[in-house]
Amino acid sequence: MTASIQRQTWWQGQRWRDDRGDASIQMAIVYPFVLLATIAVVQASLWYYARQIALTAAREGVFAARAYHATPTDGVARAQEVLARTAGDSLRSPAVSTAGSSTQRVRIQVTGQAQSMIPGLAGLRIRQSAAGAVERWTSPGG
């Protein structure tokens, strides 16, 4: 068989059945989407974890502030103590406040930012709060 006949045979039929290099092309197309999905899952996990840290600190703060003869300041101190112990780098720039507290109810709010997987982009803002009634003595029927 001459070279021109071999080329013509390859061009007309065998070329379409030959799948060498197919996997490389498929990976070049699919891999960026797989990598993006993985980063999205990890980012969502970091956000959820930071959210749970903030909620735990707010609940602990409310628990401390609801106690008999306690003040909302006691709740803020307890929430900050919990954040110092558990937050680490997972919750950045945490802040604790007593927004919406009164003499009968106490509310502790914890805000911060979740860690970001993408350098240069700020993480998602987190705002969690917890509220409860203040323990106090009351008289029957009044």
**Model confidence pLDDT, tens digit, residues 46-100:** 999 999 999 999 999 999 988 888 888 889 999 999 999 998 888 888 999 887 7
Residue 104, domain member (yes or no): yes
Residue 125, domain member (yes or no): yes
Residue 2, domain member (yes or no): no
Residue 16, domain member (yes or no): no
Q: What is the DSSP letter of 10?
A: I
The band of 135, judged by pLDDT with boundaries at 50, 70 and 90, is confident
Residue 141, domain member (yes or no): no
Residue 54, domain member (yes or no): yes
Write out the residue range of the structural domain in which residue 43 sits: 24-133
Q: What pTM was computed for the model?
A: 0.75
The domain tally of the chain equals: 1
| Sequence-separated (6 or more) residues with CB below 8 Å from residue 37 | none
